[in-house]
Structure 1
Amino acid sequence: MKLTTDVCIVGAGPGGALLAYLLAKQNISVILLERFKEIAKEFRGEHLNEEGEEILKKYGLFEKIEELGLLRMERLEYWENGELFKTVLPAPNIGHLGIHVPQSYLLAVLINEAKKYSQFSLMTGTTVTDLIKDEEDCIKGVKANKEGKEIFIESNLVIGADGRHSIVRKRAGIDVTVRKHGYDLLWAKIPAPQNWEPAIKMALIDGMQLSLFTQAKGYIQIGWNIPEGSFPALRKQHFTPFIDKLAKAFPQLETTVRNHIKSWSDFVLLDVQSNSTDCWGKDGLALIGDAVHTMTPTGAFGLNSAMKDADTLATILTKQTISTVDLMNCATERKKAVEKLQAIQIEKEQTFATQFVIYS
């Protein structure tokens, strides 16, 4: 099968889906490829900050997502030995310290809005295998596989929005610099107890960060930092003493924790790293989101930065200039902003324990 489009976007996460919608809205033909058959996949990073909120409001999307359900974080709390000792409240002009948005809701709105335009096409269950290049090594599209059938998609521009293990980036021969941060992360999700008020709660356990994020639909997401590479040895140890520390840090969660976290298999391990590259694209190719600047979970910048990439790129692309637009200016602007955010993440990680000096 052979298809032709103005822009081919690989990866239907928030950045790719938002960009597809914005381009289709400008009468630019877009094919959005997603390797999973279902768009409503589960993500770990689901918090909007004020930048992400502003982008969605700019395009009239925030209200549509709010109708499905979201949850504003009203405060940040620091706990020690089961007691609250410090509370941070949001600035009055912002009104929250982050907004939990189930990404199934976010993606549903973005895809549904894009489908209103005839220029938009979504292909799920489609895995990109290679890039199409001309004799001068300019990228002219992608090769993909859908249900065992090979597909050739020719386009004026390919957008790699396919995550930190981006096949588009790899096939383009773009190298990344990987930074390890000295920790990995265990995720778990439990039902929130009755009368649980929306908040971000932090504790320090064995010198490592433990975070609780209230979620929409009545859940709490647990993010527990552990030393880098320690999980194989950790899971050989008895499970109960580990979970006892969580119950001691937040006694009001003891019942729901013990009812819903009963073994190491109830955690999901995230190999924490941040990536960066000096090259955000080539002739006929641009990279956005985790494909070009993977971030750690600290500060919940990843989702918002991917959408900012999409917003910035959409403002400079037109149907007439797709083949000639200077993508490097866009990349330079975003690269500087991302470098600042990654530096903030490192600082937050290195200084987290100082929030608890009163107890040291």
Structure 2
Amino acid sequence: MTDKVDICVVGAGPGGALLAYLLAKKDLSVILLERHKVIAKEFRGEHLNEEGEEILKRHGLFDDIEKRGLLRMETLEYWEKGRLIKTVQPAPEIGHLGIHVPQAHLLSVILQEAEKYPNFTLMTSTKVTDLIEDENGRFIGVKALKGKEEVAIESNLIIGADGRYSTIRKKVGIEIEKRKHGYDLLWARIPAPKGWNPSIKMALIDGAQLSLFTQAKGYIQIGWNIAEGSFPELRKQPFTPFIEKLIEAFPELETSVRENVQSWNDFVLLDVHSNFAETWGRNGVALIGDAVHTMTPTGAFGLNSSLKDADTLAKLISKDTITQLDFTNCAAQRKKEVEKLQAIQVEKEKTFATQFVIY
């Protein structure tokens, strides 16, 4: 099976889906490939900031996403041993401190709009295995497996939006600078107790950050920093003393925690690192999102940066420019912004404990 399109986007996360939609609107033929059968996975970044919100509103997507369900954070709170010690309120002109948007809601709206265009195709359960080159070394398509069927898709431009372990980036041979941050992250999700306000709550436990993110549909996402690489040894230790520290920090959660977090298996481990590539495209391939600049969870910048990448690149691509994109200029618009955000993440991580110093 062989298809030919203007644009082949690999990876149907928020950045890839938005870019595919915006390019389909510009009358370019687009195929969007996703290796998973189900598009939206749990435990991905799901918090919009004002920049991500503005992009979705500008493209007429936000209202439909809101109808499916989202939740605006009303406060950022710092807690110590069950006691609130500091509260941050949103700027009046913004009105929130982040918006929780379930990824299924975000992607379903974007893809629903994209599918209104006959020049857009979504192909799930399709894993890219290699790139196709012409005699001049330009990449002109991808090879993939759709289930057990081998497919080839020829395209004038390939977009790698396939995440931190990007196959496209590796096949093109673009190098990344990988940075460890000294910690990994344990995720868990529990039902919120009655009356829990839409908020982000922080605590300091044994010198490590514990974060609670209120979610739409009545849940709380727990993000607990642990020392880098420590989880295999941590799992060998008794579970109860570990979880008692969470209950001590937030006593209101005791019932929900005891009912829903009963063993190490109730946590999902995230290997935390960031990366950055100097080269964001080459010979018919462009990279966006985590494929070219993975963020840590700090500050919830990842989702919003991916949407900004898609929005920026879509403005530069047309039928006239598709084969003549200057990837250096394309990346220049975003590199400085991303470098600044990654520096902010490092600073926030280094200074987190100072938020609990009472003067």
**SS state at 2:357 partner:** helix
Q: Distance in 1 between matches of 2:214 and 2:338?
A: 26
Cα separation, 2, equivalents of 1:168 and 1:152: 15
Letter in 1 for 2:288: I
Corresponding residue of 1:197: 197
Query: Larger deviation: 324-333 or 47-56?
Result: 324-333
Query: Residues 132-281 of structure 1 correspond to what in structure 2 (within 5 A)?
Result: 132-281=132-281
Structure 2 unpaired stretches of 5+: none
Q: CA deviation at 1:134?
A: 1.1
User: Do the aligned partners of 2:9 and 2:30 also contact (CA within 8 Å) in 1?
Assistant: yes
d(CA) in 1 for partners of 2:126, 2:43: 19
The 5 Å alignment of 1:118-129 reads 118-129=118-129
What CA distance in whole angstroms lies between the structure 2 residues aligned with 1:325 and 1:242? 52
Deviation at 1:294, TM superposition (A): 0.3
Contact 2:214 2:221 in 1 (8 A): yes
Shift of 1:38: 1.4
Q: Does 1:288 align with 2:288?
A: yes
Name 1:358's counterpart in structure 2. 358
Look up the equivalent residue of 1:57 and give its one-letter code.
K
**What's the CA shift string for 1:165-213, capped at 9, x where partnerless?**
0000011111111100000000000000011111000000000000000
CA deviation map 1:4-25 (0-9, x unaligned): 0000000000000000000000
Equivalent-residue separation in structure 1 for 2:43 and 2:112 (angstroms): 19
Residues 43 and 103, structure 1, Cα contact 8 Å, conserved in 2: no
1:105 corresponds to: 105
Q: How many angstroms does 1:135 deviate by?
A: 1.8
Give, in angstroms, the shift of residue 227 of structure 1. Answer: 0.6
Q: Which residue number in structure 2 is paired with residue 66 of structure 1?
A: 66
1:358 offset after TM fit, Å? 2.2
Structure 1: gaps spanning 5 or more residues: none
1:36 aligns with 2:36: yes
CA RMSD of aligned residues (A): 0.8
In the alignment, is residue 93 of structure 1 matched against residue 78 of structure 2?
A: no
Secondary structure at the aligned position of 2:356 is classed as helix
Aligned residue type for 1:8: C
Structure 1 length-normalised TM: 0.99
Judge conservation of contact 2:13–2:40 (CA < 8 Å) in 1: no
Amino acid at match of 1:279: T
Q: Distance in 1 between matches of 2:328 and 2:131?
A: 20
Identity of aligned residues (%): 72
Amino acid at match of 1:267: F
- The worse-fitting range, judged by mean Cα deviation, of 19-28 and 42-51 is 42-51
Q: Residue 42 of structure 1: CA displacement? A: 2.0
Q: Which residue of 1 aligns with 2:318?
A: 318
Partner of residue 78, structure 2? 78
Aligned to 1:17: 17
The answer on 1:334 being equivalent to 2:349 is no
Deviations 1:26-49 (A, max 9, x none): 001100000011113224310000
Runs of at least 4 residues off by over 4 Å = none
Q: Secondary structure at the match of 1:358?
A: coil
TM-score by length of 2: 0.99
- AA aligned to 1:104 is A
Superposed CA deviations along residues 203-262 of structure 1, whole A, max 9, x for unmatched, are: 000000000000001000000000111111111000000000000000000111011000
1:147 Cα deviation after fit: 1.6
**Structure 2 counterpart of 1:301:** 301
Counterpart-to-counterpart distance in 2, 1:144 and 1:234: 39
- Structure 1 match to 2:2: 2
After superposition, what is the alpha-carbon deviation per residue over 1:288-319, rounded to whole angstroms, capped at 9, x for unaligned? 00000000000000000000000000001111
Instruction: Give the secondary-structure state (helix, strand or coil) at the position aligned to 2:358.
Output: helix
